[in-house]
Amino acid sequence: MTGPTPGASELGREDSVERIDIQYAVTGGGIPAAEIIRAHARHALKAAAAEDAELTVRVVDEAEITALNSEYRGKPGATNVLSFPYESMPGVNSALIGDVVICAPVVAAEAIAQDKPLEAHWAHIVIHGVLHLLGHDHREELGALAMEDLERRLLAGLGYPDPYRSAGPA
């Protein structure tokens, strides 16, 4: 990964100046710096003409994502990313679109298992999570195809390879 890895003093810290808050509940090698995560999130927001949106990206461990996955999706185990869209109360205008929670150990393990550069996989997961906040979904085939096509275009715009094409032998 490029950029510094967050230190212990940054755990749980929010950047109050930015409209994209980054929280680190875990540290370790290969976790992108806040500036990189913000750049990937901004890239997805720009494609949707939602540059003024506010969101939080939280980088967590397997225990936290497993608890969230169980509580909010009723599914066991850890997953790579969860998105929690914000729905404001009627009559309340807000730029907040929600929260993206990313499990650093799962992202790292997936990158290895799928023979993908870790930096590229992080970019994909951040963009994927933000696209969910913007209303994209992959539950049905047509939605999945449209979302995957958008992800491919966004990642290509950042110089990353197609995340759905295996980098290693088939």
Task: Give pLDDT tens digits for 103-161.
Answer: 999 999 999 999 999 999 999 999 999 999 998 887 777 767 889 999 999 999 999 99
Burial of 40 (0-12, 13-18, 19+ CB in 10 A): buried
Per the listing, tokens 């994927």 go with: 128
- Residue 17: inside a domain, yes or no? yes
- Residue 1: inside a domain, yes or no? no
Q: In the prediction, which pLDDT does 157 show?
A: 96
- Residue 56: inside a domain, yes or no? yes
Total number of domains in the chain = 1
Q: Residue 96 CB: number of other CB atoms within 10 A? A: 16
- Residue 165: inside a domain, yes or no? no
- Residue 138: inside a domain, yes or no? yes
- Residue 26: inside a domain, yes or no? yes
Q: In the prediction, which pLDDT does 2 show?
A: 37
**More confident call, 76 vs 6:** 76
- Whole-model pTM: value is 0.84
Structural domain boundaries enclosing 118: 8-157
Q: In the prediction, which pLDDT does 1 show?
A: 36
- Residue 2: inside a domain, yes or no? no
CATH number for the domain that contains residue 38: 3.40.390.30
- Residue 34: inside a domain, yes or no? yes
Task: Give pLDDT tens digits for 3-32.
Answer: 344 443 344 444 433 699 999 999 988 999
Q: In the prediction, which pLDDT does 11 show?
A: 41
Span 161-170, average pLDDT: 70
Span 25-54, average pLDDT: 93
CA-nearest of 69, 70, 58 to 12 is 58
